[in-house]
Amino acid sequence: MTSAEAIEAAELAEAEIRYRNQLAREMAAAAYERGQVDGYLRAVADVKAAQHGLVLDAELEARRWGPGGREHFADPRPGDYPGRVALEAQAGPEAEPELEIA
């Protein structure tokens, strides 16, 4: 091998190294970009799953405790029996019998 052939072979090897390094940089950049997109999509899916879980929890709470929630579970509802005291008050006060004083 002559010195000119050795120099040409070295230049070819350097060009190959530069090409492979550039290719590696481009592949790393593409992989990073793909990783960002995949991570973003996973994050969106996680948020949506959490939101769906919150909606299911809210629906369960509404079914369990009624429209007012847990705080108003024992409040009277339309159609409930008002109780004996309320019925007596609605009928009006009874007239007390007058006592005769002798």
65: which 2 tokens?
């405790």
pLDDT confidence of residue 87? 66
CA atoms within a 13 Å half-sphere pointing along the CA-CB vector of 35? 6
pLDDT confidence of residue 33? 94
Asked if 70 and 61 touch (Cβ cutoff 8 Å), the reply is yes
pLDDT confidence of residue 102? 63
pLDDT confidence of residue 91? 67
pLDDT confidence of residue 80? 79
Asked if 58 and 50 touch (Cβ cutoff 8 Å), the reply is no
pLDDT confidence of residue 61? 87
* DSSP 8-state assignment for residue 9: H
Asked if 75 and 68 touch (Cβ cutoff 8 Å), the reply is yes
pLDDT by residue for the chain (102 residues), tens only, comes to: 899 999 999 999 999 999 999 999 999 999 999 999 999 999 999 999 999 988 888 888 888 888 788 888 888 877 877 777 766 777 666 666 677 776
pLDDT confidence of residue 74? 81
